[in-house]
Amino acid sequence: MSNMIGKLAGRFIVFDGPDGSGKSTQISRLVERARGAGLVVREVREPGGTSIGEQIRTILLDPVNAEMTLGCEMLLYMASRSQLVEREIKPALERGELVIADRFVSATLAYQGTAGGLSVDWIQAVAEVAVAGTWPDLTIILDVDDSVAARRLNPLLDRMELKGREFHKKVREGFLEQAERWPERYTVIDATEDADSVEKNVRNTIDSFDFCRNFPQKNGY
C-alpha cells in the first residue's frame, strides 16, 4: 500500500484512446484503488475540468457548431487545457497529489493532428504554451479498433463522434504512432478485453513503470 503512495504521489498519469475505449471505467477503478491506498487523487477530464473549460467543452461538442474550423477547434481544446493545467493540475502536483487525466495533448495530436490533418508541429508549439512544462509522467492508451469502439458508443453522438468511421480509424492510428514514437512515456493496453482484464493490465503497467526516469520535459510530445 505505502509503496503506491511513494511511487505515485506528485505524479501525472493520462488515459487516452479512441472514443469507446472504456477510459472512464478504468479511470474510476484506478482512482478508487489509489484512494484506498491512501493517496490524494485529483481526477480531471478534458475538454473541461474547470468552469471555463466546461463552457468550452459545450461549444466543442455541440453538433450545432458543425462549421467550426480545425484551427478554432484545436485552439479551443488547448485553451481549456491551459486553464486546467494552471488552475488544477499544476497546483495538485505541487501538493503531492496523484493527478489522473481523462485525455490530454495526446488527444489533440490524434484527433486534430493525425485524423484532422493539422500540422503536428503547430500542435506541439501551441501545447508548449498550454501546458507550460507540465507534461504527464505516463500516458496510457486504451486501444480498441473502430468496430468495438462503435458498439460501445452511446447512440446520441456528439460533434466529434459524428465525424465518421474513417476519421476514427485515423484517430486510433494517431495514438499508436505516438506510443511508437515515445515508448518511454506511453504504453498501449488492449482494451477490447473485459474491464477486469484491462484493469489488471493497467495495474501491471503502473506497477512496473519507472516514474523516476528522467526525460526531457521540453518538447515533451
Binding site for ligand TMP (CB under 6 A): 19, 46-47, 77, 102-103, 107-108, 111-112, 160-161
CB of 1 vs ligand TMP, minimal distance in Å: 30
- Cβ proximity to ligand TMP, 5 vs 120, nearer residue: 120
- Cβ proximity to ligand TMP, 34 vs 160, nearer residue: 160
Query: What residues have CB less than 8 Å from 147, skipping those under 6 apart?
Result: none
Backbone angles phi, psi at 69, to 5 degrees: -75, 160
CB of 207 vs ligand TMP, minimal distance in Å: 25
What single letter denotes the amino acid at residue 59?
A: I
- Cβ proximity to ligand TMP, 8 vs 107, nearer residue: 107
Distance CA 82, CA 108 (A): 13
Distance CA 10, CA 97 (A): 5
Residue with cell 476514427: 168
Distance CA 195, CA 100 (A): 18
- And the C-alpha cell for 47? 475538454
Distance CA 167, CA 200 (A): 30
Closest to 141 measured CA to CA, from 77, 196, 205, 79: 205
CB of 58 vs ligand TMP, minimal distance in Å: 11
Closest to 200 measured CA to CA, from 61, 14, 29, 11: 29
CB of 197 vs ligand TMP, minimal distance in Å: 22
- Cβ proximity to ligand TMP, 83 vs 112, nearer residue: 112
Distance CA 180, CA 199 (A): 22
- Cβ proximity to ligand TMP, 113 vs 199, nearer residue: 113
CB of 95 vs ligand TMP, minimal distance in Å: 24
CB of 82 vs ligand TMP, minimal distance in Å: 12
- Cβ proximity to ligand TMP, 54 vs 210, nearer residue: 54
